Structure 1
Amino acid sequence: MCMVFAGQDPAAYESETRSVRLHGHATSIRLERAFWQVIDAIAAEEGVTSTRFLSVLHDEVMALHGEARNFSSLLRCACLEHMRRQSGAPTASRTTTPIASRAAM
């Protein structure tokens, strides 16, 4: 069983750092490449750039919680949530409104 997990391509779990601007503030986010691939796919499905997706998600977290503690971990969990939704598994999502639509509000 562990060979399914241990046999992964090491490139998938190499760290990749991306520089992004969130509300005019430059920041760096470090995630494993596999998570960046999921974030890029989510953004493409939503019809926005990855940077725009991150910005809207950050805004929503700030609006809901007043802070975005450990944003990298939140992004990993968002990727898992997306994968659950894709597989039809139960999710914790509260809304399915496309990001591009919410950004226009």
Structure 2
Amino acid sequence: MCKMFAGQDPTRYEQVTRRLRLNGQSTSIRLERTFWGILDELADSQGMTTPVFMSKLHSEVLELHGEPKNFASLLRCCCLVYLENNSMNSDQLIAAE
């Protein structure tokens, strides 16, 4: 089983830094390449660019909970929620057939 995980292409977990503006503040965020791909897909599914999506997310988190302690971790968890929701929706479609 571990070979499936250990044998993956190292570029998937390579760290990539992107510079962007979050609510007018210039910042850089470093995430694994795979998470950037998921965030790009997630933003696109919302009809936004990734920087616009992340800025909107940051604003909403500030409003609900205050400044996030680790925004990069929040982004990774957003990716997991997105994948989980897509998986549940796929399962429901299969069950309906």
1:38 and 2:49 matched: no
User: Separation in 2 of the partners of 1:15 and 1:84?
Assistant: 23
**Structure 2 gap ranges (5+):** 90-97
User: Separation in 2 of the partners of 1:69 and 1:56?
Assistant: 17
Task: For residue 67 of structure 1, report the CA deviation from its aligned partner.
Answer: 1.2
Aligned to 1:3: 3
User: Separation in 2 of the partners of 1:24 and 1:86?
Assistant: 31
Aligned to 1:15: 15
**Structure 1 gap ranges (5+):** 90-105
The within-5 A match list for 1:43-58 is: 43-58=43-58
Same amino acid, percent of matched pairs: 54
Task: For residue 37 of structure 1, report the CA deviation from its aligned partner.
Answer: 0.1
The structure richer in helix per residue is: 2
Using the size of structure 2 for normalisation, the TM-score is 0.89
- 2:5 partner SS: helix
User: Separation in 1 of the partners of 2:8 and 2:23?
Assistant: 36
Q: Which amino acid aligns with 1:43?
A: A
Q: Rg: which structure is higher? A: 2
Runs of 4+ in 1 over 4 A off after TM superposition: none
Aligned to 1:94: none
